[in-house]
């Protein structure tokens, strides 16, 4: 028996009303039902950060966020960061600093960084490291990612 | 997919209490960062959930008229760490909150969930113990106030009665006024890790003497504990390196450390002795007291 619940949410500024299984995570609904495949499935237990999306501007791990909780929420995935074919400042900074290799962690990191930029706060180097610590990257060694985040925060 | 057969999303506390007393199988879910992981691992099956996320106001942090600080059970660690009241009056809690998991986890995980889970490693538990916090538990029968130190019953076990919901955590003015403190989380990694040992030290000093010392340890016994012997020894004594050294030794006596895959008993006891002193020294120094070397 699979119980369904109707939810309505805004994803990347577009309203979606759909029935979701109460067993589903937001990650599963975004990827499998709405085809926002920029949201990556990594560890599935909230440790790697690959599935990070913004909910009302706050970064969360969508693999441990129930789809039924998304009702009435405003969600941003990596697909919603690019506006009219133009990379966002955060994306451009990642490109400029060479902070992308295989790209699997990149959508999550760009979204976390976007939330940091939109917070309007200043961050010390230590605080930057702390604020991006919820993302595992197996390629870069993190230095270039750190540089990209620092650069866009100082812009 | 999580093994969920039913989820209720009440919008008021009254509604939640009625649902909970109507169905004893309901498992309360707050931020979800522990409950959903347990489901993923298969240790919680065919769950019937009562989600508190749709209830407004349960995350409020405020100072009551009598000076007591009230922290809503649904306040996330990110909210706590960014809150002005907490940073001004309960800085040790802020320090503990920012040590939890990683940023996204702190945006989801709640202090109420962390306490009700009964985890020995809960970063907030030690600090709540050190501040002598009380828990406000509401059920259809009324309100019950329980001290955090009486709430922990064993590893993963707390004295939450059937039908009860934790709504807020209360810290009286007496417990936090004129205190200074420090939280040390000792773990292998700086982020996304559980503590091998957690130490919260809160103290009041007067004329180079300790007038009050409160030391709480996490992962040093089956539940988070207070070091009563060390505290009793410290009260009224001059703040000297000798006093500090003795406090560290007494702290080990209060603990019931054990071997686990994270660390051996011997190593944990070593850490307790060293880190209790380190946390307390830092607490004294933050309070404007003497620098002890």
For chain B, how many residues are written?
293
B contact test, residue of A2, A116, A134, A146 with most B CBs within 10 A: A134
Residues of B in contact with A1 (CB under 8 A): 5
Q: How far is B234 from chain A (nearest CA, A)?
A: 35
Residue B288 — pLDDT band, cuts 50, 70, 90?
A: confident
Last residue within a domain, chosen from A36, A57, A80: A80
Question: Residue B292 falls within a domain, yes or no?
Answer: no
The answer to whether residues A70 and A101 belong to one domain is: no
Q: Please, is B118 exposed, middle or buried when counting C-beta atoms within 10 Å of its C-beta (0-12, 13-18, 19+)?
A: buried
The answer to whether residues B204 and B141 belong to one domain is: no
pLDDT at A1: 60
The answer to whether residues B190 and B158 belong to one domain is: no
Question: Residues of chain A whose C-beta is under 8 A from some C-beta in B?
Answer: 1, 3, 5, 21-25, 28, 44-47, 49, 52, 58-61, 64-66, 68-69, 112, 130-135
Contact A23 B3 (CB under 8 A): yes
The answer to whether residues A76 and A11 belong to one domain is: yes
Question: Residues of chain B whose C-beta is under 8 A from some C-beta in A?
Answer: 1-7, 9, 32-33, 36-37, 40, 51, 53, 78, 98, 101-105, 107-108, 190-192
Q: Judge if ipTM > 0.85.
A: yes
CA A22 to chain centre: 22
pLDDT at A155: 84
The encoded tokens of residue B100 equal 């939890």
The answer to whether residues B32 and B9 belong to one domain is: yes
Question: Residue B291 falls within a domain, yes or no?
Answer: no
Each residue's pLDDT tens digit, A83-101: 999 999 999 999 999 999 9
Residues of A in contact with B4 (CB under 8 A): 22-23, 66
The answer to whether residues B163 and B201 belong to one domain is: no
Contact B105 A46 (CB under 8 A): yes
Residues of A in contact with B33 (CB under 8 A): 46, 64
In sequence order, which residues have a C-beta less than 8 Å from that of residue A148 and are 6 or more positions away? A90, A93, A94, A96, A97, A99, A113
CA distance B36 to B43: 10
The answer to whether residues B206 and B278 belong to one domain is: yes
Residues of A in contact with B104 (CB under 8 A): 46, 49, 52, 59-61, 112, 134
The answer to whether residues B81 and B129 belong to one domain is: yes
Contact B103 A47 (CB under 8 A): no
Last residue within a domain, chosen from B140, B175, B210: B175
The answer to whether residues A74 and A97 belong to one domain is: no
Question: Residue B228 falls within a domain, yes or no?
Answer: yes
Each residue's pLDDT tens digit, B261-273: 889 999 999 999 9
Report the CATH number that the domain containing residue B248 is assigned in CATH: 3.30.390.50
3-state secondary structure (DSSP) of residue A47: coil
Question: Residue B293 falls within a domain, yes or no?
Answer: no
pLDDT at B119: 87
In this complex, the residue of A24, A66, A112 whose CB is nearest that of residue B103 is A112
Q: Please determine, for residue B289, whether its predicted confidence score (pLDDT) is greater than 90.
A: no
What domain range is B227 assigned to? 176-286
Last residue within a domain, chosen from A18, A52, A80: A80
Residues of A in contact with B1 (CB under 8 A): 21, 23-25, 28
Q: Give the total number of structural domains in chain A.
A: 2
CA B196 to chain centre: 15
CA distance A24 to A28: 6
The answer to whether residues A12 and A74 belong to one domain is: yes
Nearest CA in chain B to A44: B40
The answer to whether residues B247 and B197 belong to one domain is: yes
Report the CATH number that the domain containing residue A126 is assigned in CATH: 1.10.150.120
The answer to whether residues B125 and B164 belong to one domain is: yes
The answer to whether residues A8 and A76 belong to one domain is: yes
Report the CATH number that the domain containing residue A27 is assigned in CATH: 3.10.20.30
Nearest CA in chain B to A25: B1
Report the CATH number that the domain containing residue B157 is assigned in CATH: 3.30.465.10
Contact B274, B266 (CB under 8 A): no
The radius of gyration of chain A from alpha carbons, rounded to an integer in Å, stands at: 16
Q: How far is A63 from chain B (nearest CA, A)?
A: 9
Residues of B in contact with A59 (CB under 8 A): 103-104, 107
Contact A59 B103 (CB under 8 A): yes
Nearest CA in chain B to A20: B1
The answer to whether residues A107 and A145 belong to one domain is: yes
The answer to whether residues A76 and A10 belong to one domain is: yes
3-state secondary structure (DSSP) of residue B200: strand
Contact B9 A45 (CB under 8 A): no
CA distance B251 to B147: 21
The answer to whether residues B185 and B251 belong to one domain is: yes
Q: Please, is A154 exposed, middle or buried when counting C-beta atoms within 10 Å of its C-beta (0-12, 13-18, 19+)?
A: exposed
Each residue's pLDDT tens digit, B176-229: 999 999 999 999 888 888 899 999 999 999 999 999 999 999 998 999 999 999
Question: Residue B156 falls within a domain, yes or no?
Answer: yes
The answer to whether residues A71 and A114 belong to one domain is: no
What domain range is A19 assigned to? 4-80
Residue-by-residue pLDDT tens, chain A, 155 positions: 679 999 999 999 999 999 999 999 999 999 999 999 999 999 999 999 999 999 999 999 999 999 999 999 999 999 999 999 999 999 999 999 999 999 999 999 999 999 999 999 999 999 999 999 999 999 999 999 999 999 999 98
Nearest CA in chain B to A126: B190
Helix (H) or strand (E) holding B71: strand B69-72
Average pLDDT, rounded, for chain B: 95
Planar angle of CA B270, B274, B279, nearest 5 degrees: 140
Per 3-state DSSP, chain A is made up of helix, strand and coil in percentages (nearest 5) of 40, 20, 40
The answer to whether residues A149 and A106 belong to one domain is: yes
Contact A23 B2 (CB under 8 A): yes
In sequence order, which residues have a C-beta less than 8 Å from that of residue B241 and are 6 or more positions away? B292, B293
Question: Residue B56 falls within a domain, yes or no?
Answer: no
Question: Residue B235 falls within a domain, yes or no?
Answer: yes
pLDDT at B292: 66
> How distant, in Å, are the alpha carbons of B24, B55, B102, B247 from that of A49?
35, 27, 9, 41
Q: Please determine, for residue B130, whether its predicted confidence score (pLDDT) is greater than 80.
A: yes
Q: How far is A129 from chain B (nearest CA, A)?
A: 10
In this complex, the residue of B32, B78, B98 whose CB is nearest that of residue A66 is B32
Contact B204, B214 (CB under 8 A): no
- The percentage of residues in chain B with a pLDDT greater than 70, rounded to a whole number, is 99
> How distant, in Å, are the alpha carbons of A59, A103, A110 from that of A115?
7, 19, 9
Report the CATH number that the domain containing residue B46 is assigned in CATH: 3.30.43
Each residue's pLDDT tens digit, B77-127: 999 999 999 999 999 999 999 999 999 999 999 999 999 999 888 899 999
The answer to whether residues B72 and B169 belong to one domain is: yes
Last residue within a domain, chosen from A80, A99, A118: A80
Q: How many CB atoms lie within 10 A of CB A47?
A: 22
The encoded tokens of residue B92 equal 């040790």
The answer to whether residues A75 and A117 belong to one domain is: no
Residues of B in contact with A135 (CB under 8 A): 102
The answer to whether residues B88 and B168 belong to one domain is: yes
Residue whose entry in the numeric block shows the structure tokens 């995570």: A25
Residues of B in contact with A22 (CB under 8 A): 4, 6-7
The answer to whether residues A72 and A110 belong to one domain is: no
Across the strands, what pairs with A150?
A: none
Question: Residue B268 falls within a domain, yes or no?
Answer: yes
pLDDT at A94: 98
Q: Give the total number of structural domains in chain B.
A: 3
pLDDT at B182: 97
Each residue's pLDDT tens digit, B35-60: 999 999 999 999 999 999 999 999 99
3-state secondary structure (DSSP) of residue A21: strand
CA distance B129 to B23: 32
Q: Please determine, for residue B75, whether its predicted confidence score (pLDDT) is greater than 90.
A: yes
Contact B123, B218 (CB under 8 A): yes
Q: Please determine, for residue B293, whether its predicted confidence score (pLDDT) is greater than 70.
A: no
């Amino acid at each position: 028996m699979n119980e369904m619940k109707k939810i309505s949410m805004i994803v990347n500024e577009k309203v979606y009303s759909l029935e979701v299984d109460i067993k589903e995570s937001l990650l599963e609904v975004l990827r499998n039902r709405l085809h926002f495949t920029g949201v990556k499935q990594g560890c599935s237990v909230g440790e790697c950060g690959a599935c990070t999306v913004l909910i009302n501007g706050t970064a969360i791990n969508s693999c441990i966020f129930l789809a039924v909780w998304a009702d009435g929420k405003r969600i941003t995935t990596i697909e919603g960061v690019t506006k009219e074919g133009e990379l966002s400042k955060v994306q451009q900074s990642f490109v400029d600093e060479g902070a992308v290799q295989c790209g699997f962690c990149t959508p999550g990191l760009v979204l976390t960084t976007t939330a940091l930029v939109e917070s309007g706060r200043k961050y010390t180097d230590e605080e930057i490291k702390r604020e991006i610590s919820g993302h595992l990257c197996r390629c870069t060694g993190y230095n270039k990612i750190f540089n990209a985040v620092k650069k866009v925060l100082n812009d | 997919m999580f093994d969920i057969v039913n989820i209720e999303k009440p919008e008021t506390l009254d509604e939640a209490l009625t649902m909970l007393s109507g169905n004893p199988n309901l498992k309360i879910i707050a931020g979800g960062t522990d409950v959903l992981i347990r489901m993923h691992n298969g240790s919680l099956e065919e769950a019937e959930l009562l989600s508190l996320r749709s209830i407004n106001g349960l995350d409020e942090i405020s100072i009551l008229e009598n000076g007591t600080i009230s922290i809503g059970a649904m306040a996330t660690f990110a909210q706590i760490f960014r809150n002005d009241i907490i940073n001004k009056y309960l800085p040790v809690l802020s320090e503990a909150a920012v040590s939890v998991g990683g940023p996204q986890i702190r945006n989801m995980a709640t202090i109420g969930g962390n306490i009700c889970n009964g985890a020995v490693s809960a970063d907030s538990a030690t600090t709540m113990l050190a501040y002598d916090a009380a828990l406000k538990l509401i059920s259809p029968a009324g309100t019950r106030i329980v001290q955090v130190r009486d709430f922990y019953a064993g590893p993963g076990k707390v004295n939450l009665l059937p039908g009860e919901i934790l709504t807020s955590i209360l810290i009286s003015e007496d417990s936090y006024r004129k205190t200074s403190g420090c939280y040390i989380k000792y773990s292998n990694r700086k982020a996304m890790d559980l503590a091998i040992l957690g130490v919260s030290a809160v103290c009041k000093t007067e004329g180079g003497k300790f007038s009050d010392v409160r030391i709480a340890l996490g992962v040093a016994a089956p539940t988070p504990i207070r070091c009563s012997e060390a505290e009793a020894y410290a009260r009224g004594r001059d703040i000297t390196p000798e006093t500090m050294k003795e406090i560290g030794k007494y702290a080990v006596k209060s603990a019931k450390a054990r071997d686990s895959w994270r660390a051996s008993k011997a190593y944990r006891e070593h850490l307790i002795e060293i880190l209790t002193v380190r946390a307390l020294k830092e607490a004294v120094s933050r309070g404007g007291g003497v620098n002890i070397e």
